[in-house]
Amino acid sequence: MPTTLSERCLWPETSAETPPEYPALASHEEVDVCVVGGGITGLSTALHLAEQGIQATLLEARDIPSGGSGRNVGLVNAGLWIPPDDIVAALGKDDGERANTVLGGAPSKVFDLIERHGIACDATRTGTLHLGHNAKGCQELARRRDQLQNRGASVTLLEGEACELATGTSQIQAALLDERAGTINPCAYTRGLARTAANLGATLYCHSAVTGIERQGDRWRVLTQDGSVTANRVVMATNAYTEDDWNQIRKHFFTGHFYQLASEPLIGEAAEAILPGKQGAWDTRTVLSSIRRDKEGRLLLGSLGKGEGKPLAYLTRWADTIQNHYFPALGNVRWQYTWTGKVAFTPDHTLRIFEPAPGILSATGYNGRGVTTGTVVGEGFAHYIAKGDDSLLPLPLSQPKPIKARPLWSCAYESGFSLYHAGQCLRVLI
């Protein structure tokens, strides 16, 4: 079947929130807080600062959104990638349970913002499904269920007919339904945060890449090509898209990628049987596959790894393999969009929140949970700046050690992902 696949992101083209138009910085300003980065973390920070009457200026190097905030799967997930007990083991009891509590409530924060500010981002609040693709995966889901239920989370392990009806496939033996979670169009959500922040009084500039930061007395001066912002506090919200050597965030994550393909809109009984509750889903594979539908009925498949630079025929072959494995009744599917986003990984799969210098706040290492984590980190930063209280942050401010051999971590991950996908295409792994 001839392909219609092209390399562009689906989410901007289906966003009900219109593209914002913000000027480039071409002057010298003085404000309370300068936020660097116009993704979810930066915009949430600016929005929550504006709600508290604190003057904030945000600088974005490109458009809003241009990074992972507008390119991710759009899952509004609770918690981190790893199970609650593993979080405690990695961070210690106090910090681990704090992260579990704050991030467990993060989906509610996202949906509350959407409702309060009328953000048109195709939000669904019917949960997400973690899919057990084999016996070992189902055992892992049972372990997660027990840990989450012990902490009061509303999760249910679906098995047998209930699982097949919820997922639309007989290839999944069990699925963990997390009723706290849901889905959005992430580009529309990010645009909505920008619109709301600006309406509340924050000043936003695009195409204003920061070239450096310098100390100026007890304040900071943030420099761009054509202007500068002098502020009491600076929030560095660049995360996985941190590029400049002077930016200390670079030392605290290694780069990974996640690619996706979206089909043409699907109709018919076979299509309607796939995730009829409109949940987003991902499986327990060593290199996971994500699965969801969009508002127009497209099937979206994704996985860890870089799609950019790979032949479109290779990506189509991978998507066909996954689709035919899980949903053979669909028959041949035309793939319409493909795109890749960056992920900020850490070796222990937990985030880092720190103060690299007095008056500068930073966060990174969301490990693929950017929608919810970025939202609550932004709120937490604003609360800390306003009240001197970091209790709304998932973790207390710390001074973590830089990650060693970051390029080697990135290379190892990408090589492993590519080999796994090649095995799937050859049907050695499925």
- Region 244-273: mean pLDDT is 95
d(CA 277, CA 293): 10
pLDDT of residue 428 exceeding 80, the answer is no
- Region 275-291: mean pLDDT is 96
pLDDT of residue 20: 85
- Region 403-429: mean pLDDT is 88
Asked whether the CA dihedral 419, 420, 421, 426 is positive or negative, the reply is positive
Per DSSP bridges, beta strands 75-76 and 155-159 are unpaired
Instruction: Report residue 33 as tokens.
Output: 């807080």
Parse the chain into domains and list their residue ranges.
Answer: 6-425
**For the purposes of burial, counting CB atoms within 10 Å of the CB of 405, is it exposed (0-12), middle (13-18) or buried (19 or more)?**
exposed
CATH classification code of 6-425: 3.50.50.60
pLDDT interval class at 209 (50, 70, 90): very high
**DSSP result, 35-75:** EE--SHHHHHHHHHHHHTT--EEEE-SSSSS-SGGGTS--E
pLDDT tens, 394-411? 999 999 999 999 999 999
pLDDT of residue 4: 80
- Please give the model's pTM, rounded to 2 decimal places: 0.97
pLDDT tens, 114-153? 999 999 999 999 999 999 999 999 999 999 999 999 999 9
pLDDT of residue 309 exceeding 80, the answer is yes
pLDDT of residue 2: 47
Q: Is residue 65 reached through a cis peptide bond, with omega within 30 degrees of 0 on the bond before it?
A: yes
d(CA 333, CA 323): 8
pLDDT of residue 347 exceeding 90, the answer is yes
Average pLDDT, the chain: 96
pLDDT tens, 155-206? 999 999 999 999 999 999 999 999 999 999 999 999 999 999 999 999 999 9
Q: Which residues pair with 224 in a beta bridge?
A: 210
CB neighbour list of residue 197: distance below 8 Å, 6 or more residues apart: 43, 46, 47, 50, 58, 204
pLDDT of residue 310: 94
- Region 337-351: mean pLDDT is 97
Task: Find the radius of gyration of the CA atoms of the chain.
Answer: 21
- Region 41-50: mean pLDDT is 98
pLDDT interval class at 96 (50, 70, 90): very high
d(CA 278, CA 310): 30
pLDDT of residue 3: 59
Maximum C-alpha span of the chain: 67
Strand ranges of the sheet holding 299-304, from the earlier edge strand across to the other edge: 6-7, 335-345, 254-263, 299-304, 289-293, 280-283, 128-132, 174-178, 155-159
The percent of residues in the chain predicted with pLDDT above 90, rounded, is 93
Phi (first) and psi of residue 183, to 5 degrees: -140, 160
d(CA 314, CA 330): 20
Q: Are 54 and 20 in contact (CB under 8 A)?
A: no
- Region 282-288: mean pLDDT is 95
d(CA 249, CA 243): 9
pLDDT tens, 70-94? 999 999 999 999 999 999 999 999 9
**For the purposes of burial, counting CB atoms within 10 Å of the CB of 112, is it exposed (0-12), middle (13-18) or buried (19 or more)?**
exposed
pLDDT of residue 30 exceeding 50, the answer is yes
pLDDT of residue 430: 64
Closest C-alpha to 109, from 36, 182, 46, 55: 182
pLDDT of residue 1: 46
pLDDT of residue 16 exceeding 90, the answer is yes
Closest C-alpha to 196, from 384, 19, 44: 44
